């Protein structure tokens, strides 16, 4: 008997991971890949570590042991105020929003089978931005701005979907139409900004960069509630979505109801992006980069939802920490940090794919 050849290096030099194993209990079974498990845990630990550091450092440094005490309500009053009232809600918002962007990006990249099929490019983020700016210019409250950006995100998605629809929606059309709608929305943004009152324009300008500054529990809790509904939907969608990566015919032949699954996935992806944008403003690039990074780190085929969510959460909180500390005492909005990293990463990605 000839031994199977050892796993050779892949096309881009990546070795293929060990075969997946299963966790079984009676008639139940869960499929787990050891590498996915290890990387997922590693990213989660990294995310927690970054969060702890973010809880600790700042204008006022809180020692780690005081953080733990404060979280359990037994720390010094100053530490409790800083940790529980100021930093924790900001970080929790960041983790949730990052996870939502990561998931939304993973869903859209999986549907379009293209990294450029991210919410940032198919009209969702810009729809949310336009909605938000309109609300600022019309003098809306914080809640109205959040609501308008969620509505703008859904409207942008509907416009792209309707314009791209032709006997079903194909990935490539979705991207091209999305880019067109994006351009239209950006021109609308600039029109409003040039016509707006200077202080409104400044507020709107700050809002569209996307920021975690001043985020409290009132921001974190709505996002958490939305995630409680959307996460199970993602779990249900992940397996049929994976089948659809092999083409609609293959998926249909395997018993996937392609059109309903696609519609549900688009709805969930839009809501994730919309809720996240409503909380922080359009933080670009997380939705594009998180699934790509996740895929490269976990070396799993196709797009992975869980690892994308973990990566998005870690990325956003990490970028926010960097934005706060890198040029301290000047605090940058996290959107500027992600946009800067995003540009560099996108070029890196494209150069790599070209080869």
Partner 1 sequence: MRLYGTGLTLSYDKRVVARDLDVTIPDGSFTVIIGPNACGKSTMLRALARMLKPRAGAVHLDGSVITSLPSKEVARRLGLLPQSSIVPDGITVADLVGRGRYPHQRMMRQWSREDEAAVAAAMESTDVTELADRCVDELSGGQRQRVWLAMALAQETPILLLDEPTTFLDIAHQIEVLDLCADLHEQGRTLVAVLHDLNQACRYATHLIVMRDGRIVAEGDPSTIVTTDLVREVFELRCEIIEDPQSGTPLIVPETRRRAPVRT
Residue 343 binding partner 1, by CB under 8 A: no
Closest CB to partner 1 among residues 154, 241: 241
Residue 16: phi and psi, rounded to 5, are: -85, 145
Closest CB to partner 1 among residues 33, 338: 33
Q: Smallest distance, Å, CB 263 to partner 1?
A: 15
Residue 235 binding partner 1, by CB under 8 A: yes
CA angle 54, 60, 63 (to 5 degrees): 65
Q: Say how far apart CA 278 and CA 223 lie, in whole Å.
A: 9
- Positions in 163-202 near partner 1 (CB under 8 A): 167
Task: Identify the residue among 247, 259, 344, 350 touching partner 1 (CB under 8 A).
Answer: 247
Which stretch in 3-11, 42-50, 280-288, 340-348 sits in contact with partner 1 by CB under 8 A?
Answer: 3-11
Angle, helices 198-209 vs 334-354, to 10°: value is 50
State the virtual CA torsion across 293, 296, 301, 306 in degrees, nearest 10. -40
Residue 88: phi and psi, rounded to 5, are: -60, -50
**DSSP single-letter state for residue 113:** T
Show the site string, 97-116: x = touches partner 1 by CB under 8 A, - = not. Answer: ----------------x---
- Positions in 22-51 near partner 1 (CB under 8 A): 22, 24, 27-31
CA distances from 174 to 117, 180, 187, 310, 339 (A): 8, 10, 20, 26, 23
Task: Identify the residue among 104, 112, 211, 300 touching partner 1 (CB under 8 A).
Answer: 300
Residue 351 binding partner 1, by CB under 8 A: no
Residue 299 binding partner 1, by CB under 8 A: yes
Strands (E) across the chain are located at 21-25, 28-32
Q: Enumerate binding residues for partner 1 (CB under 8 A).
A: 2, 4-8, 10-11, 14, 16-17, 19-20, 22, 24, 27-31, 113, 167, 235-236, 239, 242-243, 245-247, 249-250, 252-257, 295, 299-302
């Amino acid at each position: 008997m000839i031994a199977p050849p050892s796993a050779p290096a892949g096309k881009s030099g990546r070795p293929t991971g060990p075969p997946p194993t299963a966790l079984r209990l009676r008639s139940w079974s869960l499929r787990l890949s050891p590498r996915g498990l290890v990387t997922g845990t590693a990213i989660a630990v990294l995310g927690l570590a970054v969060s702890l550091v973010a809880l600790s450092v700042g204008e006022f440094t809180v020692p780690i042991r005081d953080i733990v005490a404060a979280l359990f309500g037994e720390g010094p009053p100053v530490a409790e105020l800083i940790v529980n009232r100021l930093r924790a809600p900001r970080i929790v918002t960041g983790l949730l929003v990052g996870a939502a962007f990561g998931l939304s990006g993973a869903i859209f990249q999986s549907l379009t089978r293209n990294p450029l099929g991210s919410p940032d490019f198919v009209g969702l983020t810009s729809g949310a931005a336009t909605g938000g700016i309109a609300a600022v210019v019309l003098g809306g409250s914080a809640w109205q701005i959040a609501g308008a950006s969620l509505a703008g995100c859904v409207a942008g998605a509907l416009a792209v979907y309707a314009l791209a629809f032709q006997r079903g929606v194909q990935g490539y059309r979705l991207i091209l139409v999305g880019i067109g709608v994006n351009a239209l929305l950006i021109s609308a943004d600039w029109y409003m900004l040039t016509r707006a009152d200077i202080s409104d324009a400044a507020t709107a300008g700050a809002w569209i960069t996307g920021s975690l500054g001043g985020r409290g529990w009132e921001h974190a809790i709505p996002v958490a509630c939305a995630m409680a509904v959307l996460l199970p939907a993602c779990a249900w969608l992940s397996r049929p979505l994976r089948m659809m990566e092999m083409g609609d015919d293959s998926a249909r032949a395997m018993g996937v109801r392609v059109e309903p699954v696609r519609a549900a996935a688009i709805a969930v992806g839009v809501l994730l992006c919309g809720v996240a944008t409503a909380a922080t403003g359009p933080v670009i690039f997380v939705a594009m980069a998180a699934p790509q990074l996740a895929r490269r780190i976990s070396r799993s085929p196709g797009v992975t939802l869980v690892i994308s969510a973990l990566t998005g959460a870690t990325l956003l909180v990490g970028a926010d920490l960097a934005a706060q500390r890198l040029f301290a005492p000047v605090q940058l909005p996290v959107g500027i940090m992600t946009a800067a990293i995003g540009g560099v990463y996108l070029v890196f990605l494209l150069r790599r794919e070209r080869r």
